[in-house]
Homo-oligomer: A and B are copies of this chain.
């Protein structure tokens, strides 16, 4: 079976599994706030932020700066300022994939044509601008802790891993959750990471989450799913979760500090940049404990 969530929220829906979150979901999640501690789950963004070989890195151009004043720039009314320009691939660092990011069979989530995303228009359907804020329960599934080690490159995380991590968390993934999977990948020395092999979900584990009606699947690795892919497949988790279930993927998270708190369920809040017709966005998610 495929196209599981197509037309579940109407023929025009472009938000997919985010529809699992309603006001009541958010209200209940806010009730999880206990200490008020807030944890930033985003990687620093700089020209040194790692990126895979088929993409370019971020560039940071300073325009006016304090150096200009040292060199004699005028200070009308005493005012001094600095400003800069950012160039970045939408899928760098900690970022979220829009539902137009991945598909197969020439159809996006909910049956929209893949050809509706063009160089001249961006994504007419399922762009990142259709997503809006995400405020719901976050659930940390700490597979690295359950395994007792950083999951090795190429090692698939299966349903068993998620079930054991859920048991440790004291809660199963459920409707409207943002599920955050810690593999430990991002905690290694940057010089040792690769974009060709990484630990991540196998397809069965991804479907196990999708069938529980989670809203978002996130992880601390590059691609959520295991690399290299299972034989004969290419990004199978992207294909099925994004296109058939309408589940956005939240990639490149930093989860160590959160894991160290011992909390597994918390208020999660994040909101992508509303880039018209964009395929994704760098994002700075927060765990509010």
Within 8 A of B (CB), among A153-194: none
Contacts of A44 in B (CB 8 A): 129, 274-276
> Which residues on B sit within 8 Å (CB–CB) of A110?
none
> What residue in chain B is nearest A117 (Cβ atoms)?
B66
Q: Is A68 an interface residue (CB 8 A)?
A: yes
A34 x B45 contact (CB < 8 A): no
Whether A26 sits at the interface, judged by CB under 8 Å, is yes
- Point out the residues of chain B lying under 8 angstroms from A87, CB to CB: 59, 85-87
Q: In residues 51-65 of chain A, which contact B (Cβ within 8 Å)?
A: 55-57, 59-65
> A22 to B37, alpha carbons, bound, how many Å?
8
Residues of A in contact with B, size category: 35 or more
Q: Which residues of B contact A276 (CB under 8 A)?
A: 44-46, 48, 60
| A135-B288 in contact (CB<8A) | yes
**A197 CB to nearest B CB, Å:** 17
Chain A window 114-125, contacts with chain B (Cβ cutoff 8 Å), 1 for yes, 0 for no: 111111101100
Contact among B36, B60, B69, B285 for A122, CB-based, below 8 A:
B60
A3 interface residue (CB < 8 Å to B): no
A280 within 8 A of B: yes
- Kindly list chain B residues whose C-beta atoms are within 8 Å of the C-beta of A11: none
Residue of B nearest to A271 (CB): B284
Partner of A70, one of B43, B64, B115, B270: B115
Given the known inter-chain contacts A27-B36, A114-B80, please indicate yes or no for A273 contacting B277, CB distance below 8 A: no
- B285 in contact with A271 (CB, 8 Å): yes
Chain B residues, CB < 8 A from A47: 56
A39–B274 Cα distance when bound, in Å, is: 13
Chain A stretch 1-29: residues in CB contact (< 8 A) with chain B = 22-29
Question: CB-CB < 8 A to A24: which residues of B?
Answer: 36
Known A68-B120, A87-B85: A284·B133 in contact at CB below 8 Å: yes
Q: Which residues of A contact B (CB under 8 A)?
A: 22-31, 33-40, 42-48, 55-57, 59-73, 75-91, 100-106, 108, 113-120, 122-123, 129, 132-133, 135, 229, 232-236, 238-239, 267, 269-280, 282, 284-286, 288
